[in-house]
Amino acid sequence: MRRALELAQAATAHGDVPVGAVVFRSATGEVLGEGLNRREADNDPTAHAEVVAIRKAAAALGDWRLNDCTLAVTLEPCAMCAGAIVNARVGRVVFAAPDPKAGCTGSLMRLTEDPRLNHRVRPLGGLLASSSSEMLRAFFRARRG
Amino acid sequence: MRRALELAQAATAHGDVPVGAVVFRSATGEVLGEGLNRREADNDPTAHAEVVAIRKAAAALGDWRLNDCTLAVTLEPCAMCAGAIVNARVGRVVFAAPDPKAGCTGSLMRLTEDPRLNHRVRPLGGLLASSSSEMLRAFFRARRG
């Protein structure tokens, strides 16, 4: 999660909301993919940190199934990212700050725990949450200022 | 939607479930992005037809906001794709066949109409549904056979 926070900070260099993500092998910690929010940088509405990291990890593995992997992300996943977690069958998910406006793994709904979908994972939130929240607050404060 | 069905058929050439999508300007019909399911071809769990078409359309426009665009897709969007539709602020969505197992714009839930999210769109389903359903049935029949 510390690496994900570094990636989040880097996103602010191109005016993107600071969110970072890392996908690693759950058993060994080997990093397979990293991502940071590049929506503004790339004009890509799907370039959330989680999607970028998941795509890179799947490419590194040569397999779209990430059952043996953990995703660490600095902000609670949105609906798109929660759906990507289900589609990629990510084995474990940890996130830092909750997102009361768009978070779909605890705040607005619990998409990744829906018993009707063909993969389920219960994310663990709150890891280094205050560091992530403070980074987000500073970003929006600077943008308003 | 006829073009989306052609794209769907093309996905079967690389063993992918036949789903195709087109993003076009709602006012003029100008095509901005096309996509077909490439999960197996690219080992990319996020490479659903809708995500591919949305990314291409945003790149073509140089803007991640697709408010003035329509997405036509041959299968009801999953949670990831419904979330991508919200994130890209797609103005209109039409789909062909419903997806009772994973569809999140009518079958399992109505993600793109959630009043708590910052963009809402009510998809119109059923357009050329039987053509899409028959293509999907033929694909799974051949795969089992």
Contacts of B60 in chain A (CB under 8 A): none
The interface pTM score, or ipTM, of the predicted complex is 0.96
Q: Which of A45, A79, A118 sits opposite B54 (nearest CB)?
A: A45
Q: Return d(Cα B64, Cα A102) in angstroms, integer.
A: 18
The confidence score (pLDDT) of residue A14 equals 96
Rounded to whole angstroms, what are the CA distances from B74 to A102, A128, B26? Answer: 27, 42, 18
Active-site residues of B, by number, are 50
Contacts of B83 (CB under 8 A, 6+ apart): A78, A79, A80, A81, A82, A83, A104, B111
Give the CA diameter of chain A: 45
Q: Which of A46, A78, A82 sits opposite B51 (nearest CB)?
A: A46
What is the distance in angstroms between the Cα of A31 and the nearest Cα belonging to chain B?
A: 17
Q: Which of A45, A104, A114 sits opposite B84 (nearest CB)?
A: A45
- The share of chain A scoring above pLDDT 70, in percent, equals 100
Q: Write the pLDDT tens digit of every residue in B18-75.
A: 999 999 999 999 999 999 999 999 999 999 999 999 999 999 999 999 999 999 999 9
Q: Write the pLDDT tens digit of every residue in A107-126.
A: 999 999 999 999 999 999 99
The confidence score (pLDDT) of residue B21 equals 98
The confidence score (pLDDT) of residue A13 equals 96
pLDDT band at A97 (very low <50, low <70, confident <90, very high): very high
Q: Return d(Cα B70, Cα B85) in angstroms, integer.
A: 10
The confidence score (pLDDT) of residue A145 equals 81
Question: pTM higher than 0.95, yes or no?
Answer: yes
B45/A111 touch (CB, cutoff 8 Å), yes or no: no
Contacts of A68 (CB under 8 A, 6+ apart): A25, A26, A27, A91
Q: Write the pLDDT tens digit of every residue in B81-124.
A: 999 999 999 999 999 999 999 999 999 999 999 999 999 999 99
The confidence score (pLDDT) of residue B26 equals 98
Residue A35 has pLDDT above 90, yes or no: yes
* A49-63: average pLDDT: 98
pLDDT band at B145 (very low <50, low <70, confident <90, very high): confident
Contacts of A110 (CB under 8 A, 6+ apart): A104
Query: How far, in whole angstroms, is CA A14 from its chain's centroid?
Result: 18
Long-range contacts at A135-139 (CB < 8 A, ≥ 24 apart): A135/A5, A135/A8, A135/A9, A135/A18, A135/A74, A136/A17, A136/A18, A136/A75, A136/A97, A139/A12, A139/A17, A139/A18
Q: Return d(Cα A18, Cα A132) in angstroms, integer.
A: 8
Tokens of A27: 């058993």
Tokens of A49: 């940190």
B114/A108 touch (CB, cutoff 8 Å), yes or no: yes
Residue A142 has pLDDT above 90, yes or no: yes
